[in-house]
Amino acid sequence: MTPTDLLDYYRSPGPFTALGRFGDQLDAITFDAATVAGIVHGLLMHEAWAPAYGVTLPDERRSEKQLCGVRAMLDCAERLDAGPLRNERSPDRRVVGVCRHFATLFVAIARRKQVPARARCGFANYFEPGKHFDHWVAEYWNAAEQCWILVDAQIDAIQARIVKPSFDVLDVPRDRFLVAGDAWSICRRGAADPKTFGVAGTDMWGLVEVFGDVWQDLASLQKIELLPWGWYGLATADGAAERHADFIDRMARISSRADAAAVDELLRLAADDVRLVVPQAVLDAAEAAEGRG
């Protein structure tokens, strides 16, 4: 795979990022990160952030966070509010999701605009001092600057007033969001305490969570943006973080580099290594859900 091949690969949608009939509504926009993030903000509501918008979510709405693909998300958005996708919904009429949904929708729109993009799983250290929260962001190729740019598509003006990031969330520094491979590497070499890495509001902290995110990021690099709780392959094996540390080191380096050579290596390995294969049942379920879009 050449660098050009890599960009072409991430211009096209994967099973979760095809827009289907909804794509026509977005064809008129010109891609820029702020515009796309604004559309995402107007369509989605993070489950944990609902109180900040004055929204009390009924229990039946919380199941929306199980929607895998973008077409399923947009089907839901249309049921909640039939207006054009570019119209900002009131917070109570936005689709309920988590950070992964924001990143995946941003990526889907970017790909529709022929901008190479991918969702990245890792850890953000800007939500609470001293903590690295499990998080997803989008990453798109900036042709003018010839580099990949991280975008936190979840943080809008309301969240920014609370989080108070010291940087532009449309250009997140690499030391503020650590892709999973980087998080694994610094924990392994003792540069960070694994106990500071985990899922906000839970007791799920430590090196095993970092390991799980490596596998989530590897799937996303294959254009399979799994739900955050959708662990697969080696990540589901008991004690794997200790027993297979050398192999995880190798996969973490792929996550960290994510260049043409690394992605080519990943795709070749994932073709027949059961430790890296996303179960077909996951993809089949997503395809069934997407059939409505």
Task: Kindly report, residue by residue over 171-192, the tens digit of the pLDDT.
Answer: 999 999 999 999 999 999 999 9
Burial (CB count <10 Å: 0-12, 13-18, 19+), residue 257: middle
Q: Which of 98-112, 256-270, 274-288 has the lowest mean pLDDT?
A: 274-288
Vertex 19, ends 84 and 265: CA angle to 5°?
Answer: 150
Which residues, 6+ apart, have CB-to-CB distance to 65 below 8 Å? 47, 96, 97, 98, 101, 227
Tell me how many domains the chain contains. 1
pLDDT computed for residue 290 by the predictor: 65
- What per-residue confidence (pLDDT) applies to 276? 93
Q: Residue 79: in which H helix or E strand, if any?
A: helix 70-80
The model carries a pTM of 0.95
At residue 255, does pLDDT exceed 90?
yes
What's the mean per-residue pLDDT of the chain?
A: 94
At 291, the pLDDT band (50, 70, 90 cuts) reads low
**pLDDT tens digits for 74-129?**
999 999 999 999 999 999 999 999 999 999 999 999 999 999 999 999 999 999 99
Joined together, the tokens standing for residue 149 give 């740019």
pLDDT band with cut points at 50, 70 and 90 for residue 28:
confident
- Element spanning 219, H or E: helix 207-221
Angstrom distance (rounded) from CA 15 to CA 278: 12
For residue 254, what are the domain limits? 3-290
217/282: higher pLDDT: 217
Q: Which residue has the higher pLDDT, 264 or 282?
A: 264
